């Protein structure tokens, strides 16, 4: 059966998911489909009372199920069963996500959803392997570090990879013995609601996963400021991350993980495999139409290789197939909203006014919905808006260098440090520069994650605090207690 579907005949879940069911909801934010701009649904807004209901449900589920105190292998088995169901229900999940988001349905099933199920299993495996430790003390004492779940974790996710971002939050929190109250983006809530329903069907005790819908100001603030939310895990913009820190500081100190924005460089030396670099650079800025935190949006290329590289990138950009997210043949995504598309265009226009040259793109595409053409800007300096701002769209800036030091200076962004790419065949240089680049993830002769989920992800500078993925993400969902026993 084809994965393509008719968006007008899809039944959407309505309400918040609290306990074991969808509950009726009030207040509706109008929603438009990015692929054709049509109004099609409304997103409810959970106020402080609804958020409190979800938090109390989570607290009581933790108590009655003894989730954190179960034999760890039991938690692990239930999470594995949930991952199995996610795979079995991949087509339904994919449609619920594709209708509201920028993710093409074909890429969802084989990509985002398969990876999310795998990552949930990855986190589940820590449940019975990662614990406290005995520490060296003198003979008269026994010292140990015990670890325990926090209790109820508050999670907030963005719209750009909804299922995957939810898996990054729910997987480690649940494996570590917590319950979760999660708010997906108000633009893409449906697939996350269905994830919660599948968890209950898999046998995960009802109430451990609660999904409340709404915006940042009402629902987000109610989560981060709730006294019974013991820890906050957020992925989104640096601006919202900063507002969350402020709210937490005002309402009661609690630990937080913040995965924020980026403006990641890709540095290509002339000795690199230029075709391979072109493929990686193009994919990193056109995948999800550049709406990825780690989008490699700043190309920094050695001058004598720039013509070859640009030609190869232009060639690849021409073969990209745009189309609605509900068409299984679509490869290139729309922008999430008309407002965001306008913002991209404003930054491109301002950069051109400031002296940048447009090699391709720089305008909306002649299609229904909010498509924006892959865009290359050259002749650009460090102060250009397109180099400074996180555009979150398919816009690649190109800067050239002649000396390694110059490349390093261009790569260093004043506020972001999420990821960086480095392309060279000189191993010594690769290692030397990897040490110097100020980013939480460095990719050498490739760009983008593999399915090695053990590698954590997180930002330097204002790109974030703490890590998702890896052992760190599991550990960040448990608090530690130091114990010293006199013998
Ligand atoms: P956003 O910050 O506008 O919203 C993210 C989520 O936070 C949404 O659910 C939103 O409703 C909520 N929110 C907004 N303001 C809030 C507040 N004051 N309190 C609580 N919640 C609030 O981001 P977005 O537009 O949805 O996503 C794009 C951003 O996310 C980009 O900056 C991107 O780089 C970042 N991102 C980072 C990572 C990472 O791993 N570092 C991954 C994906 C996306």
> What is the CATH number for 179?
3.40.605.10
Rounded Cα–Cα distance for residues 104 and 334 (Å): 9
Q: Which domain holds residue 301?
A: 265-461
Contacts of 353 (CB under 8 A, 6+ apart): none
8 A C-beta contact, residue 13 and residue 24: no
Q: Which atom of ligand 1 is nearest to the CA of 238?
A: 32
The two tokens of residue 136 are 């060296």
The two tokens of residue 74 are 């039991």
Q: What angle do CA 67, 72, 75 make, to 5 degrees?
A: 55
Which residue minimizes the CA distance to atom 43 of ligand 1? 293
Q: Is 486 helix (H, G, I), strand (E, B) or coil?
A: strand
Rounded Cα–Cα distance for residues 177 and 69 (Å): 8
> Per the domain annotation, does 173 fall within a domain?
yes
- For tokens 């555009």, name the residue: 391
Q: Which atom of ligand 1 is nearest to the CA of 262?
A: 34
The two tokens of residue 302 are 């050695």
> Per the domain annotation, does 1 fall within a domain?
no
Would you please indicate which residues are annotated as catalytic (active-site) residues? 259
Rounded Cα–Cα distance for residues 174 and 196 (Å): 12
Do residues 90 and 180 share a domain? yes
Radius of gyration of the chain (CA): 23
Which residue minimizes the CA distance to atom 10 of ligand 1? 216
> Per the domain annotation, does 470 fall within a domain?
yes
Do residues 93 and 203 share a domain? yes
Residues lining ligand 1, Cβ inside 6 A? 156-160, 183, 185-186, 215-216, 220-221, 224, 235-237, 240, 243-244, 259-262, 293, 390, 392, 418, 457, 459, 464, 468
Which residue minimizes the CA distance to atom 39 of ligand 1? 259
Rounded Cα–Cα distance for residues 455 and 271 (Å): 27
Rounded Cα–Cα distance for residues 416 and 276 (Å): 26
> Per the domain annotation, does 365 fall within a domain?
yes
8 A C-beta contact, residue 485 and residue 468: no
- Ligand 1 test: best mutation among 237, 290, 392, most atoms within 8 Å of CB? 237
C-alpha of residue 450 to centroid of ligand 1, in Å? 23
C-alpha of residue 209 to centroid of ligand 1, in Å? 20
How confident is the model at residue 2, as a pLDDT? 86
Q: What angle do CA 18, 48, 191 make, to 5 degrees?
A: 40
Q: Which atom of ligand 1 is nearest to the CA of 259?
A: 41
8 A C-beta contact, residue 177 and residue 68: yes
Rounded Cα–Cα distance for residues 74 and 400 (Å): 55
C-alpha of residue 221 to centroid of ligand 1, in Å? 13
C-alpha of residue 427 to centroid of ligand 1, in Å? 37
Do residues 152 and 301 share a domain? no
- Ligand 1 test: best mutation among 165, 236, 456, 463, most atoms within 8 Å of CB? 236
Do residues 241 and 285 share a domain? no
- Ligand 1 test: best mutation among 158, 172, 192, 287, most atoms within 8 Å of CB? 158
Do residues 180 and 156 share a domain? yes
Which residue minimizes the CA distance to atom 8 of ligand 1? 185
8 A C-beta contact, residue 483 and residue 152: no
> What is the CATH number for 359?
3.40.309.10
Q: Which atom of ligand 1 is nearest to the CA of 468?
A: 40
Of how many residues is the chain composed? 487
> Per the domain annotation, does 244 fall within a domain?
yes
Do residues 388 and 472 share a domain? no
Reference 174, options 196, 156, 146, 144; nearest CA is: 196
Do residues 211 and 174 share a domain? yes
For residue 387, give the H/E element and its range.
helix 385-388
Sign of CA dihedral 329, 331, 337, 342: negative
How confident is the model at residue 1, as a pLDDT? 58
Rounded Cα–Cα distance for residues 282 and 315 (Å): 10
Cα–Cα distance list, 126 to 73, 131, 346 (Å) = 10, 9, 46
7: which DSSP letter?
A: G
How confident is the model at residue 288, as a pLDDT? 98
C-alpha of residue 215 to centroid of ligand 1, in Å? 11
Do residues 192 and 241 share a domain? yes
The number of folded domains in the chain is: 2
Contacts of 210 (CB under 8 A, 6+ apart): 16, 17, 18, 19, 54, 55, 57, 58, 179, 180, 181, 182, 196
Output the tens digit of pLDDT for each of the chain's 487 residues: 589 999 999 999 999 999 999 999 987 999 999 999 999 999 999 999 999 999 999 999 999 999 999 999 999 999 999 999 999 999 999 999 999 999 999 999 999 999 999 999 999 999 999 999 999 999 999 999 999 999 999 999 999 999 999 999 999 999 999 999 999 999 999 999 999 999 999 999 999 999 999 999 999 999 999 999 999 999 999 999 999 999 999 999 999 999 999 999 999 999 999 999 999 999 999 999 999 999 999 999 999 999 999 999 999 999 999 999 999 999 999 999 999 999 999 999 999 999 999 999 999 999 999 999 999 999 999 999 999 999 999 999 999 999 999 999 999 999 999 999 999 999 999 999 999 999 999 999 999 999 999 999 999 999 999 999 999 999 999 999 999 999 9
Q: Is 30 helix (H, G, I), strand (E, B) or coil?
A: strand
Do residues 412 and 363 share a domain? yes
Rounded Cα–Cα distance for residues 168 and 470 (Å): 10
> Per the domain annotation, does 221 fall within a domain?
yes
C-alpha of residue 235 to centroid of ligand 1, in Å? 5
Which residue minimizes the CA distance to atom 42 of ligand 1? 293
The two tokens of residue 295 are 């989008």
- Ligand 1 test: best mutation among 167, 240, 261, most atoms within 8 Å of CB? 240
> Per the domain annotation, does 2 fall within a domain?
no
C-alpha of residue 232 to centroid of ligand 1, in Å? 13
Q: Is 324 helix (H, G, I), strand (E, B) or coil?
A: coil
Do residues 327 and 382 share a domain? yes
Alpha helices in 176-252 (DSSP H): 190-201, 221-224, 238-251
Q: What angle do CA 413, 416, 422 make, to 5 degrees?
A: 65
160: which DSSP letter?
A: S
Reference 60, options 179, 229, 212, 182; nearest CA is: 179
How confident is the model at residue 272, as a pLDDT? 98
Q: Which atom of ligand 1 is nearest to the CA of 215?
A: 11
- Reading phi first (left if > 0) and then psi (alpha if -120 to 50, else beta), residue 383 is in alpha
Rounded Cα–Cα distance for residues 245 and 220 (Å): 12
Tell me whether residue 475 is exposed, middle or buried, using C-beta atoms within 10 angstroms of its C-beta: 0 to 12, 13 to 18, 19 or more: middle
Rounded Cα–Cα distance for residues 100 and 31 (Å): 8
C-alpha of residue 103 to centroid of ligand 1, in Å? 17
Rounded Cα–Cα distance for residues 279 and 284 (Å): 9
Reference 189, options 23, 41, 58, 337; nearest CA is: 41
Do residues 234 and 329 share a domain? no
> Per the domain annotation, does 415 fall within a domain?
yes
Do residues 115 and 231 share a domain? yes
Number of helices followed by number of strands (H, E) in the chain: 16, 22
Tell me whether residue 479 is exposed, middle or buried, using C-beta atoms within 10 angstroms of its C-beta: 0 to 12, 13 to 18, 19 or more: middle
């Amino acid at each position: 059966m084809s994965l393509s579907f008719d968006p007008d005949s899809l039944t959407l879940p309505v309400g918040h998911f609290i306990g074991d069911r969808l509950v009726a909801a009030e207040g509706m934010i109008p929603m438009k489909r990015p692929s054709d701009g049509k109004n099609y649904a409304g997103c409810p807004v959970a106020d402080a009372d609804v958020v409190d209901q979800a938090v109390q449900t989570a607290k009581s589920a933790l108590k009655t199920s003894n989730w954190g105190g179960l034999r760890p292998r039991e938690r692990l088995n239930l999470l594995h069963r949930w991952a199995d169901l996610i795979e079995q229900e991949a087509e339904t999940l994919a449609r619920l996500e594709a209708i509201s988001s920028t993710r093409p349905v074909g890429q969802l099933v084989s990509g985002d959803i398969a990876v999310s199920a795998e990552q949930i299993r990855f986190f589940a495996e820590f449940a019975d392997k990662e614990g406290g430790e005995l520490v060296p003390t003198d003979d008269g004492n026994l010292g140990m570090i015990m670890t325990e779940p926090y209790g109820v974790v508050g999670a907030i996710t963005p719209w750009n990879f909804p299922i995957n971002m939810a898996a990054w939050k729910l997987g480690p929190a649940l494996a570590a013995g917590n319950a979760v109250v999660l708010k997906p983006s108000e633009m893409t809530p449906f697939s996350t609601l269905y994830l919660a329903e599948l968890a209950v069907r898999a046998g995960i005790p009802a109430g451990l996963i609660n999904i409340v819908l709404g915006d940042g100001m009402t629902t987000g603030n109610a989560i981060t400021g709730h006294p019974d939310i013991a820890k906050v895990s957020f992925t989104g913009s640096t601006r919202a991350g900063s507002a969350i820190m402020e709210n937490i500081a005002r309402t009661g100190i609690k630990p937080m993980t913040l995965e924020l924005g980026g403006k990641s460089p890709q540095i290509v030396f002339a000795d690199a495999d230029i075709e391979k670099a072109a493929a990686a650079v193009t994919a990193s800025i056109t995948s999800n139409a550049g709406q990825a935190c780690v989008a490699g949006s700043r190309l920094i290329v050695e001058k004598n290789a720039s013509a070859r590289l640009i030609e190869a990138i232009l060639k690849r950009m021409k073969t990209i197939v745009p189309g609605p997210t509900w068409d299984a043949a679509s490869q290139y995504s729309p922008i999430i909203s008309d407002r965001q598309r306008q913002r991209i265009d404003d930054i491109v226009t301002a950069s051109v006014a400031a002296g940048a040259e447009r090699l391709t793109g720089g305008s909306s595409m002649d299609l229904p919905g909010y498509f924006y053409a892959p865009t290359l800007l050259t002749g650009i300096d460090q102060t250009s808006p397109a180099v400074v701002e996180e555009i979150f769209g398919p816009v690649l800036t190109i800067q050239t260098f002649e000396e390694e030091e110059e490349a390093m200076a261009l790569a260093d962004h004043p506020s972001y440090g999420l990821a960086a790419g480095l392309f060279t065949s000189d191993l010594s240089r690769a290692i030397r520069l990897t040490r110097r680049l100020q980013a939480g993830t460095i990719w050498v002769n490739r760009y983008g994650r593999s399915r090695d989920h053990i590698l954590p992800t997180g930002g330097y500078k204002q790109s974030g605090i703490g890590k998702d993925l890896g052992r760190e993400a599991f550990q960040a969902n448990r608090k530690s207690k130091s114990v010293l026993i006199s013998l």
